[in-house]
């Protein structure tokens, strides 16, 4: 640990004992003693020496510097980052731009260690605002456990899938590897997975998966008054053809305006998935004597689950929306196929909260 007296004062505070349900994921103990790291500034700063201390150049601890410190540790010690809702208005804004970086130094907040980790608001609900510079969180660790509690996570924008390209995954939280993810009294709002539009004639638009959340494998527990609301997955538009006869590109697919989950056990308990939208991209116009591109399909305005299961108890899935993209104009001057806005198909549970053909939830057939 750091030799800084200030940092030692933080660690001298009584640690909190946090219980984690492992659900089959590797961990040192069923109960782990988590070391608290209280954040002392709402500014977005980096750690000077993250291997030894979360302190930034001004001897403060930011949300980003605390996560960098946790990522740099070894062993099985668990940590929890504490965000005081009374500090600086309780809004922790990300301002260091730079996507496609995986060490939490720029852009989104990358979590890379597969140990129990939590980020909690204290003295009320703390806000984490990405202001559209990137998604908010990127959980890269496989087999770990991450808990978010007493937080408002907002204004994330994903324009990538974790690597360069036009596809966009997880506007609020992007977890591409199996793990246990818990949202406890957390709202994810106004986040966007924004599929890209190509600059080369005739190419297809990028797909957009999970406006609020993208989870691939493991478990997702949304509980205790949490909400995923006002988020969007928007497929990219297909590029127009050219006068040399190149057809228009297809619009990108949009799935899971609120939540996209693959091979995941999803539980929504006493919470809500509301006012989210999936919108397929527009097909590009065809060049001379060439067809226009097809519009992109839209599936699961609120929740999209493929090769997994979903349990919903005492929760609301409502006012979610899906819109398929329009086809591009072709050589005959008529638009190409408009893809349907698909809410559900075979394999859909019959619970009244999300009946077949509801725009709130889409489940792949078994």
Q: What pLDDT digit, counting tens, does each position of 282-337 carry?
A: 999 999 889 999 999 999 999 999 999 999 999 999 999 999 999 999 875 445 55
Average pLDDT over residues 59-70: 98
Q: Is the model's pLDDT at 353 over the cut of 80?
A: no
CA-to-CA dists, residue 257 to 94, 301, 328, angstroms: 23, 5, 23
Portion of the chain with pLDDT greater than 90, in percent: 78
Average pLDDT over residues 174-181: 98
Portion of the chain with pLDDT greater than 70, in percent: 81
Q: What pLDDT digit, counting tens, does each position of 184-202 carry?
A: 999 999 999 999 999 999 9
Reading the block at residue 213, the tokens are 């959340």
Q: Is the model's pLDDT at 134 over the cut of 50?
A: yes
Q: What pLDDT digit, counting tens, does each position of 226-256 carry?
A: 999 999 999 999 999 987 889 999 999 999 9
Give the number of residues written for the chain: 366
pLDDT for the residue numbered 242: 85
pLDDT for the residue numbered 28: 32
| Domain boundaries, position 182 | 5-363
Q: Is the model's pLDDT at 26 over the cut of 80?
A: no
Average pLDDT over residues 89-102: 98
What CA–CA distance (Å, rounded) separates 181 from 193?
Answer: 19
Q: Indicate the average pLDDT of the chain.
A: 86
Alpha-carbon Rg for the chain in angstroms: 22
Average pLDDT over residues 25-39: 62
What CA–CA distance (Å, rounded) separates 323 from 285?
Answer: 19
pLDDT for the residue numbered 362: 66
Report how many domains make up the chain: 1
Q: What is the pTM of this model?
A: 0.86
150-154, 327-331, 354-358: segment of lowest average pLDDT: 354-358
- Looking up tokens 């291997």, which residue turns up? 51
pLDDT for the residue numbered 348: 27
């Amino acid at each position: 640990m750091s030799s800084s007296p200030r940092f030692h004062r933080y660690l001298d505070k009584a640690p909190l004992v946090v219980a984690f349900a492992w659900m089959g994921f590797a961990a040192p103990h069923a109960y782990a003693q988590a070391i608290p790291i209280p954040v002392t500034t709402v500014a977005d700063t980096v750690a000077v020496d993250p291997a030894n201390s979360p302190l930034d150049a001004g001897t403060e601890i930011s949300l980003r510097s605390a996560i960098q410190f946790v990522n740099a540790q070894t062993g099985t010690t668990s940590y929890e980052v504490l965000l005081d809702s009374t500090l600086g208005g309780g809004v922790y804004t990300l301002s260091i731009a730079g996507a496609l970086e995986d060490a939490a130094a720029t852009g989104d907040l990358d979590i890379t260690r597969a140990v129990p980790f939590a980020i909690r608001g204290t003295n009320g609900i703390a806000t984490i605002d990405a202001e559209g510079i990137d998604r908010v969180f990127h959980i890269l660790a496989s087999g770990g456990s991450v808990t978010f509690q007493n937080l408002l996570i907002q204004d994330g924008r994903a324009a990538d899938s974790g690597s360069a390209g036009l596809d966009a995954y997880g506007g609020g939280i992007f977890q591409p590897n199996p793990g246990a993810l818990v949202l406890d009294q957390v709202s994810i709002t106004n986040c966007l997975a924004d599929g890209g539009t190509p600059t080369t004639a005739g190419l297809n638009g990028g797909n957009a998966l999970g406006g609020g959340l993208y989870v691939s494998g493991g478990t997702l527990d949304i509980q205790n008054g949490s909400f995923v609301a006002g988020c969007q997955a928007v497929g990219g538009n297909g590029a127009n053809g050219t006068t040399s006869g190149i057809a228009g590109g297809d619009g990108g697919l949009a799935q899971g305006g609120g939540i996209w989950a693959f091979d995941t056990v999803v539980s929504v308990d006493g919470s809500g998935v509301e006012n989210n939208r999936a919108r397929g991209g527009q097909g590009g116009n065809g060049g001379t004597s060439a067809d226009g591109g097809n519009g992109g399909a839209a599936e699961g305005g609120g929740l999209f689950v493929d090769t997994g299961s979903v349990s919903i108890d005492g929760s609301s899935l409502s006012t979610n929306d899906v819109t398929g993209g329009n086809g591009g104009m072709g050589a005959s001057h008529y638009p190409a196929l408009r893809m349907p806005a698909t809410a559900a198909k075979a394999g859909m549970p019959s619970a009244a909260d999300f009946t077949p053909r509801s725009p709130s939830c889409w489940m792949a057939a078994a």
